[in-house]
Amino acid sequence: MIEAVGVVVPARDEAEHVGACLNALGEALRRLPAGVAYAVCVVADRCRDATAATAHAAFGDLPGTVLVSEAARTIGEVRDLGVARVRELLRTPAAGTLLLSTDADTRVTPGWARAHLARARQGYHAIAGTAELAVPFTTSARALRQYEHVLDDARTAAGHGSVYGANLAVRGDAFDVVGGFGPRATGEDHDLWRRLGQAGFRRCFESAAPVVTSARLHGRAPDGLATLLRRLARDHDGCGHRS
């Protein structure tokens, strides 16, 4: 039985977004069933702006901490650092802890944590939610329609088929067995999902746990969502198409 939910939020120079991220997390976590403990760790990774201070101010009565990291780490290592810290806060058994991952430029929806928890209580070790793009968009409607085609192509009989570090849940014991996110500079979410499957853990896609994430064209991960949107914008806007 899941006793606790820990949320990890990596953040680099996200002072503009991290407050809204934490406000949304607070609303979602307070909707968890009675008796389920929860905590949040924001990892302020080599920030040059007021991310850490803004996050501290936004926590309010939300249990958790801001961990300031100045060392050079990959995004996988940053997420792992946050996981370790939030588990120290919760102090619950690995099999009873659900680890949720999101991003500082992302707002979870009110039922987000509860939907992930429900799936975990059905016996799933890993749950991948969906990501909707926030408005206003910074690219053309044509490129955004192409992004919708990318999502459609990912769908399978098992569900929506997409995996995002901004919307991923993994049970603590499964996370430990496969070694966590690991030292990956990009694609850490897909790599973790793949290794969980290879290890025989139960995985599922959950459309009832969406998040709303930035549609910006320049992000941290070299091959992340921002890179995909930028490529779609270049491919479709750079050919004389304007919408």
143 in a structural domain: no
Number of domains the chain contains: 1
Closest CA to 82 of 106, 61, 99, 58: 99
Lowest mean pLDDT, pick from 52-66, 83-97, 125-139, 210-224: 210-224
Q: What is the pLDDT of residues 79-99, one digit of tens each?
A: 999 999 999 999 999 999 999
Which element (helix H / strand E) includes 9? Answer: strand 4-11
Say whether pLDDT at 181 is over 80. Answer: yes
Secondary structure of 162-176 as H, E, C letters: CCCCCCEEEEHHHHH
**Predicted pLDDT of residue 151:** 67
List pLDDT tens digits, range 134-161. Answer: 765 555 566 667 667 666 677 877 788 8
pLDDT of 162: 87
Is residue 241 in a domain?
Answer: no
What rounded mean pLDDT belongs to the chain? 88
pLDDT for the residue numbered 139: 57
pLDDT for 134 equals 72
**Domain of 78: which CATH number?**
3.90.550.10
Greater model confidence, 75 or 147: 75
Q: How does residue 242 score in pLDDT terms, banded at 50, 70 and 90? A: very low
* pLDDT score of 29: 98
pLDDT of residue 135: 64
Decide the pairing of beta strands 37-45 and 4-11. parallel
The arrangement of strands across the sheet holding 97-101 comes to 64-69, 37-45, 4-11, 97-101, 168-171, 126-128, 203-205
Specify which residues 97 forms β-bridges with: 4
Domain membership of residue 236 (yes or no) is: no
By mean pLDDT, which of 3-7, 30-34, 236-240 is the weakest? 236-240
Is 239 inside any structural domain? no
232 in a structural domain: no
pLDDT at 113: 98
φ, ψ dihedrals at 235, nearest 5°: -65, -35
48 vs 11, 41, 51, 81, 230, CA distance in Å? 11, 19, 8, 19, 24
Strand partners, 68: 44
Let me know: does 22 contact 40? Beta carbons within 8 Å. Answer: yes
pLDDT at 239: 41
Task: Decide if 110 is inside a domain.
Answer: yes
Q: Is residue 230 part of a domain?
A: no
- Does residue 142 fall inside a structural domain? no
Instruction: Name residues whose C-beta falls within 8 Å of residue 71's C-beta, 6 or more positions apart in sequence.
Output: none
For residue 237, pLDDT over 60 is answered with no
Q: What percent of the chain has pLDDT over 90?
A: 73
pLDDT given for residue 133 in this prediction: 81
**CA-only gyration radius of the chain, Å:** 17
The residue-averaged pLDDT of 19-42 equals 98
188 or 146, which is more confident? 188
pLDDT band, very low/low/confident/very high, at 243 (cuts 50, 70, 90)? very low
Query: Tokens 């928890």 correspond to what residue?
Result: 117
Domain assignment of residue 12, given as a range:
4-135+159-216
